[in-house]
A = this chain, B = another copy of it.
Amino acid sequence: MSAEERRGSVIRAAMSEFAHGGYKGTSTEAIARRVGVSQPYLFRLFPNKQAIFLAASLRCIDITRQVIADAADGVPQEEKADAIANAYKKLLLDDPESLLMQMQTYVAVASAEAVGDHEFGEAVRERWQEMWDTVHLALGADVDETKTFMAYGMLVNTLFSLGYPAGHRNWEGFHDSARPA
């Protein structure tokens, strides 16, 4: 297998492992085991653990952005907001690791920024902005509407992370499929 292909599998494995364990709580050994290679080989493919985490973070945001873009594609303007919202809810249900990795990314950026490391945050912000802009354009480039839409998304993220069960009153008004089991 070529190094580039291996890097791809490493990123996929890293997303799963980091999603559950976070940066510190995930060993490079665990990632290597999931990929099926030896642990030291990871350091031939990436300079260090941080680089693997960054790649996983960016990939996670890219996937989300793609889900949004696909959902909005070919849908009449007035239905785009619903289409994106439903696609995002479906993503959360079908692939809960995606939300976990997203949250892990946020705390990792916040922690890095807090100690003066801005490189990691810069890379994440760049991709995150692409996601924001994808939503913005799809919704007709209305600043307030985009902001409100994203705000509800972040609230869903939080309720989902906190494990609020289906039927809880905080979920009133959200579509059924947005609720965790």
A151 in complex: contacting residue of B125, B128, B154, CB < 8 Å: B154
The minimal Cβ–Cβ distance linking A166 to chain B, given in whole angstroms, is: 14
Q: What total of chain A residues lie within 8 Å of the partner, measured CB to CB?
A: 45
A163 in contact with B125 given A154-B158, A173-B144 (CB within 8 Å): yes
Q: Would A118 and B163 be within 8 Å (CB), given that A110-B100, A111-B100 are in contact?
A: yes
Binding site of A, secondary structure by majority: helix, strand, loop or mixed?
helix
Contacts of A125 in B (CB 8 A): 162-164
Do the beta carbons of B147 and A20 come within 8 Å of each other?
no
Give complex CA distance A146, B173 in Å: 12
Copies in the complex: 2
Q: What residues of chain B lie closer than 8 Å to A113, measured between beta carbons? A: 163
Complex contacts, A111 vs chain B, CB 8 Å: 20-22, 25, 100
Which residues in B have their C-beta under 8 angstroms from that of A148?
148, 151-152
- Quick check: A20 and B163 within 8 Å, CB to CB? no
Within the complex, the shortest CB–CB distance from A132 to chain B, in Å, comes to 7
A3-11, A30-38, A40-48, A101-109: which lies at the interface: A101-109
- Nearest first, the 4 A-B pairs at minimum CB distance are A24-B25, A151-B155, A154-B154, A24-B24
